[in-house]
Structure formats: structure tokens, C-alpha cells
Chains A and B, each alone.
Chain A
Amino acid sequence: AQSVTQPDIHITVSEGASLELRCNYSYGATPYLFWYVQSPGQGLQLLLKYFSGDTLVQGIKGFEAEFKRSQSSFNLRKPSVHWSDAAEYFCAVGGSGGYQKVTFGTGTKLQVIP
């Protein structure tokens, strides 16, 4: 069964500092991988996705993520965090074709301090 682990429940960073949110997945074939962001009272918004090709993917708001098959990881990074990045971040895994659902992790809540 597919699954996602986000080991960090809560992370606090200073504004302007770099950020890395960890995501490990379990999937039997080549996965589709996603990062979503959810601000308080808002819906889930896609930050970026990996389907194939270049393992370093760029997303919106200056985020990027790197797919590492050998480590079953898809960590999210940002070089300089802004106060508006405070939100909850969810990693998700799905599969190509056929009957594939998308499974989400439990999320990492990001706090940004001035």
C-alpha cells in the first residue's frame, strides 16, 4: 500500500532563513509526487509536482523539491522564507495510469518568526 511520512510535525524558522521539509514515500513503482500548502481557513493549493524527468522540480512561490528514488524522498526546500509562508504543508503520492489514488501525509506546520 502506498504511504507518505512527514517526520516533522512542526517547524519554526526565522524569516529569511532557508527551509527544508522532509517527505518519505512508499510506493511500488514510479510515483507521482506532490506538495500542497494549506493556509488557515484556506483550501489546499498545489506548490509543485513530480511526474517524470528532471528530479529537481520548481514550483510556485520560490519553492523547489528534489526526488531521490534511492532514498524514497521528496523534500521541499526554499532558500529564504517569508512570513507569508507560514502554513501547513502536505506531501502526497500517487501513481501513473490505471486505478491510482493520491495519498497524503499528516503534514508539517511551518511557523515563521521575525
Chain B
Amino acid sequence: DTGVSQDPRHKITKRGQNVTFRCDPISEHNRLYWYRQTLGQGPEFLTYFQNEAQLEKSRLLSDRFSAERPKGSFSTLEIQRTEQGDSAMYLCASSLVDGELFFGEGSRLTVL
């Protein structure tokens, strides 16, 4: 059990560029979650997968955001045409079904 890992840990980009984050969950976990956290706020739900199926996507998430988990293992979160309002910490977590969430360290996005 090596924990949840996220890459990159920090990304600085210019407005309008695309960025992609990767999450490697704990190997036996079949659920994977993406959250966004801004300063002073709790983690805000973005989307989650059970195996390779995306079960729910937040209605707050614009079409510029897309997530995949192609083989039910790692996941990617892509943000297209980034805006300054996208600056945040993007958190990945994994769990067993009906289990507690184990979080990674997060990927911090700064949009200039």
C-alpha cells in the first residue's frame, strides 16, 4: 500500500492553456474521487468513478473539465482553456465501495 499519489504537485500555467493531472489510487480500491479545494473552503466534489465508470459529475463543473479512468486504475483530470478561477488545489482520493476515502497530497494549480 503506497498510498494515493498525484502528479504534478504544482502546476503554473497561463490563462487559456490546457492542463492535465494524474492520480494513482491505492491499488485495490475501486472508487476514485476528484475534489477541488480553495483557500478556507472544504473539498468540493467534482466527480467520482467506480472502476472505469464515471458515476457522477458535479453540476458545478463546466464542460472544460473532463476526467477519465480508462482501465479502472489511474485517473486523469483535464482542464481545457484554463481560467484564473480554476486556480485551486485538486485532490484525488480512493476508497473501497462503502469505505473511507484516502487522499493524495493534491495538485496545486495556479493560472496566471
Q: Which A residues lie at the B interface, using CB under 8 A? A: 4, 6, 32, 34, 36, 42-46, 49, 51, 90, 92, 96-97, 99, 101-107
Please give 12 more A-B residue pairs, beta carbons under 8 A apart, in addition to A43-B91, A101-B33: A4-B42, A36-B103, A43-B104, A43-B105, A44-B43, A46-B100, A46-B102, A101-B55, A102-B33, A102-B45, A104-B42, A106-B42
Residue in chain B with minimal CB distance to A49: B100
A86 to B74, CA, bound (A): 33
Bin chain B's interface residue count.
Answer: 20 to 34
The tally of CB-CB contacts under 8 A between chains A and B is: 52
A34 to B102, CA, bound (A): 12
Q: Which B residues lie at the A interface, using CB under 8 A? A: 33, 35, 40-45, 48, 50, 55-56, 91, 93, 97-98, 100-106
Residue in chain A with minimal CB distance to B105: A43
